[in-house]
Structure 1
Amino acid sequence: MVNMRNFKDWTLAELDKTFRLEVLDSSPILEHWITAQADISDLEHQVLRSCQKTLHTHVYDWNETELAYNFIGPVMAFANFNTKQFNFFAERAFSGKVDDIEMGGRPDGMIASGFRVPEQPYFCFQEYKKEKDPDGDPAAQALAAMLVAQELNQHQFPMYGCYIKGEIWHFMTLQKRAYCISDGYIATRDDLFKIFRILKTLKQLIIEFVKL
């Protein structure tokens, strides 16, 4: 544990060089995920508008904990990743080796198998960072966690991730040593409904992978 490098210590440049990663301009896996159709009910629309109004009022004043509690948490809870087979877990520690380099940390959020405690991390890792003066590189932190999760899952599935800076959400995919990052989705605009569709699609992807 003494020599373990924390997810927070990495930058994208270091990850690219250390693990010989390929940055993709586009990815069929990412494209399928972010363009898939999912219905949004009238109730979901109303709740999302309410969350959005609060975000619009406070986003530039909230710190990262306030952003997580007041906006990201409610949106994730509304997408409902809590089942008997997998759940959304917050700030749970996990670690592993990638090319003999021990890495670990506590991602702000992850979806993993397990009912009471996370077991096998599946797809989504999120780092919540305030819009002004964020601490560290949230994209690198998410990607570092995804690399470890991929090893723990023995490369059975593509890894799905997300990082958030203020009102801007970026989605990520990783397969083997190639990753792709989406353009930003701005949650104070109608992009919020695209974000929610992407989260609903993620849930369906996880359900299908759990069956394998």
Structure 2
Amino acid sequence: MLDHVWDWNEEELKVYFIIPLLNLVNFEQEYYKPFLDRELSMTFHDEIISGRVNFLVAGGKRSPKRPFFFIHEYKKERDSSDDPLGQLMIAMVTAQHLNNDGHPVYGTYIMGRYWHFVILAGSSYAVHTGLNVTAQEITVILSVLKNTKEIIEQWSATVAGNIHP
């Protein structure tokens, strides 16, 4: 099945690979959970900036309240014309602004078999060049996701009084 990962559209990437991998990590916890296809917005210089986020982990029970981690833009590896990093960064900057706590914000954008991990701290960001899920790097991807969950656990423990699940 992974032989044709470069041909999968967004829905096929989600159903066949991304969601099963995320289920292994289990982001569904007491003080935070995953949300799919949610709008995130903020006001910046009297302009409303908004967009739909494919996947985010945030505090809250019915709606996201404190975004910690994003996966955005499941794009085909070949023939993709959008700017997944730019779209992810808009979501991450919005979360940073809404959280207003000085903590870094983490995210990932996926293009076919390549996962690119991003961290935004203050006004600086770093992007990993990409891990190939069809190679042995899948164990690294799973490890990064589990480490991200540990970071979220620590954050949610410190703000649990402010989150109403």
Same fold (TM > 0.5): yes
Partner of residue 53 from structure 2, selected from 107, 127, 134: 107
Length-normalised TM-score, structure 1: 0.71
Matched residue SS, 1:59: helix
One of 107, 116, 120 as aligned partner of 2:62: 116
Q: Distance in 2 between the 1:80 and 1:200 partners? A: 9
In the alignment, residue 211 of structure 1 is paired with which amino acid?
Answer: A
* 5+ residue gaps, structure 2: 159-165
Report the Cα distance in structure 2 between the residues aligned to 1:211 and 1:60, rounded to whole angstroms: 39
User: Which moved further from structure 2: 74-83 or 196-205?
Assistant: 74-83
Q: In the alignment, is residue 165 of structure 1 matched against residue 103 of structure 2?
A: no
Partner of 1:163: helix, strand, or coil?
strand
What's the secondary structure of 2:107's corresponding residue?
Answer: strand
Superposed CA RMSD: 1.4
Amino acid at match of 1:146: M
1:127 maps to 73
CA distance in 2, matches of 1:62, 1:123: 24
Q: Which secondary structure state, in structure 1, belongs to the residue aligned with residue 27 of structure 2?
A: coil
> Of 159, 163, 179, which residue of structure 1 is paired with 2:125?
179
Q: Number of aligned pairs?
A: 158
Give 1:192 deviation, angstroms. 0.3
Q: Which residue of 2 aligns with 1:147?
A: 93
Which residue in the other structure is 2:150 paired with?
204
Give the alignment of 1:5-84 within 5 angstroms. Answer: 54=1, 56-84=2-30
- Higher percent of residues as strand: 2
CA distance in 1, matches of 2:93, 2:11: 25
| Larger gyration radius, structure 1 or structure 2 | 1
- Calculate the TM-score normalised by the size of structure 2: 0.90
Matched-pair contact (CA < 8 Å) for 1:129–1:166? yes
Q: Which residue number in structure 2 is paired with residue 31 of structure 1?
A: none
Report the alpha carbon displacement of residue 116 of structure 1 after superposing the two structures with TM.
2.8
- State, as a whole percentage, how many aligned pairs show the same letter: 37
Unaligned runs of 5+ in 1: 1-53
Letter in 2 for 1:104: S
Report the alpha carbon displacement of residue 135 of structure 1 after superposing the two structures with TM: 4.0
1:95 to 27, 35, 41: 41
Question: Helix, strand or coil for the counterpart of 1:91?
Answer: strand
Aligned partner of 2:150: which letter?
A: Q
Q: Which fold has the larger relative contact order, with Cα–Cα distance below 8 Å and residues 6 or more apart in sequence?
A: 1
Give the C-alpha shift of residue 136 in structure 1. 1.2
